[in-house]
């Protein structure tokens, strides 16, 4: 079964995961897992119990008419009808002009917007570098605009949607001059949406240039963008490596994507940065010689990825899916964890782990290593893991301590944390 999630094996380095509101509930509690270049596209639901995730959609021919047979294919969740729900999918193929917006009706996906080569909102999508994401342009708390940009050229557009007609509210052509003074003239420039004011609005743009330390945050006032932050690095994190990546996350369980997770691909380096009006950015979590990984998920050689996710039905993306695919060249065993903030750190609430010995004696140390954070004194031989109380209740039946388990068996360990 492997170390993937919900039966999806994550055996390709191209596998990616995003969160998505599949059933229009307001909860980003489904995971779209896909493999560009192959047509493989799954959507997983958190069902609870010993097998925590199950597929509600499985395809080897893409989704909604988009084939996903090109390695350039990408997808993000989007609020198409201004409902406040990220319940549509935008699928696009940089370099080709192909883009669709897909609606889900009882598990059947169909386009409400489709372009077979003409791009979107007069943005041609004809460059392999093109990137896009959802954005709150008008401070509405709705991610119902699309930012689409072309790093290295200064090109960035912001598109609004009126009944399926996309038009620019901001545009800088190719070549352009960037946005808010940030020139977007380097191929490694990256842009994300961020809640700078900590009020549940991802209405600021965070732009950064890995390897240089350059980080800007821009506010928007009536279509005019200007910096509220310009730094050499951020909160002490130097952003000096081309492998640095930044994510917006909810660290305080308040529904605000107002913290920055900074991770250096291939290293055990990860910081979480908080922003305040008085202190600007400062770390609330960082790896060090004595602190490794994040919430039981090891970091190191290869590439780790993070997706904000609603694990409990509360409309907040206050958990993270931390995953590493099998073929990223890592010397670490591939693992998938769902983690949540805890105090000034993180803890695992779900992990999937493959047992490799033949046969394998599942013991106390393995349970602890899987993220349960228990000791031998907490365990009672002869009882199933679900019966063990350690201040956190382990949910779901897995083999008992001392059980002999065949090679390749995978176990789900899920914690319901008090």
**Cβ neighbours of residue 215 closer than 8 Å, sequence gap 6 or more:** 206, 207, 208, 209, 229, 230, 231, 232, 233, 234, 239, 246
- Per-residue pLDDT, 116: 95
**Which stretch of 185-189, 245-249, 359-363 has the lowest confidence by average pLDDT?**
359-363
Tell me the pLDDT band of 280, cut-offs 50, 70 and 90.
confident
The predicted model gives 149-160 an average pLDDT of: 98
Which residue in this structure is represented by tokens 């390695």? Answer: 71
| pLDDT tens, position by position, 376-392 | 223 333 333 333 333 33
- Per-residue pLDDT, 408: 41
pLDDT > 90: percent of the chain: 67
The predicted model gives 280-303 an average pLDDT of: 89
The predicted model gives 108-119 an average pLDDT of: 97
More confident of the two residues 359 and 86: 86
Give this prediction's pTM.
0.85
- Per-residue pLDDT, 175: 92
**Cβ neighbours of residue 211 closer than 8 Å, sequence gap 6 or more:** 188, 239, 240, 241, 242, 244
The predicted model gives 75-103 an average pLDDT of: 98
Q: What is the dihedral of CA 294, 300, 302, 303, to 10 degrees?
A: 30
| pLDDT tens, position by position, 406-416 | 434 444 444 33
Neighbouring CB atoms inside 10 A of 253's CB total 13
């Amino acid at each position: 079964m492997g170390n993937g999630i919900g039966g999806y094996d994550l055996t390709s380095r191209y596998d990616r995961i995003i969160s998505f509101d599949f059933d229009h509930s307001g909860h980003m509690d489904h995971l779209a897992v896909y493999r560009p270049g192959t047509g493989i596209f799954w959507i997983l639901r958190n069902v609870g119990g010993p097998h925590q995730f199950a597929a509600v959609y499985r395809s080897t021919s893409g989704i909604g008419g988009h084939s996903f047979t090109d390695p350039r294919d990408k997808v993000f969740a989007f609020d198409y009808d201004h409902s406040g729900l990220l319940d549509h999918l935008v699928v696009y193929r940089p370099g080709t002009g192909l883009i669709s917006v897909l609606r889900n009706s009882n598990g059947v996906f169909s386009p409400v917007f489709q372009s077979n080569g003409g791009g979107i909102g007069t943005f041609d999508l004809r460059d392999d570098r093109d990137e896009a994401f959802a954005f709150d342009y008008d401070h509405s708390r709705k991610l119902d605009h699309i930012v689409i940009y072309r790093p290295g050229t200064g090109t960035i557009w912001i598109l609004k949607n009126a009944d399926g007609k996309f038009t620019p509210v901001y545009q800088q052509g190719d070549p352009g001059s960037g946005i808010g003074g940030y020139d977007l003239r380097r191929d490694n420039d990256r842009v994300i949406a961020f809640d700078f004011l900590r009020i549940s609005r991802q209405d600021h743009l965070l732009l950064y240039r890995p390897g240089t330390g350059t980080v800007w945050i821009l506010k928007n006032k009536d279509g005019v963008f200007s910096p509220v932050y310009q730094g050499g690095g951020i909160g002490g994190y130097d952003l000096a490596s081309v492998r640095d990546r930044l994510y917006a996350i909810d660290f305080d369980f308040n529904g605000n994507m107002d913290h920055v997770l900074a991770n250096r691909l291939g290293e055990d380096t990860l910081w979480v940065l908080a922003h305040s009006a008085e202190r600007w950015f400062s770390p609330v979590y960082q790896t060090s010689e004595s602190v490794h990984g994040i919430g039981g998920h090891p970091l190191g050689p290869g590439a780790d990825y993070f997706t904000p996710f609603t694990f409990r039905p509360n409309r907040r993306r206050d958990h993270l899916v931390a995953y590493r695919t099998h073929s990223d060249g890592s010397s670490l065993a591939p693992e998938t964890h769902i983690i949540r903030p805890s105090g000034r750190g993180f803890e695992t609430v779900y992990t999937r782990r493959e047992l490799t010995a033949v046969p394998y004696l599942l013991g106390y140390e393995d349970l602890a290593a899987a993220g349960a954070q228990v000791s031998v004194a907490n365990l009672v031989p002869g009882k199933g893991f679900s019966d063990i109380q350690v201040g956190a209740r382990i949910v779901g039946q897995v083999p008992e301590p001392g059980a002999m388990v065949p090679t390749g068996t995978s176990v789900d360990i899920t914690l319901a944390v008090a």
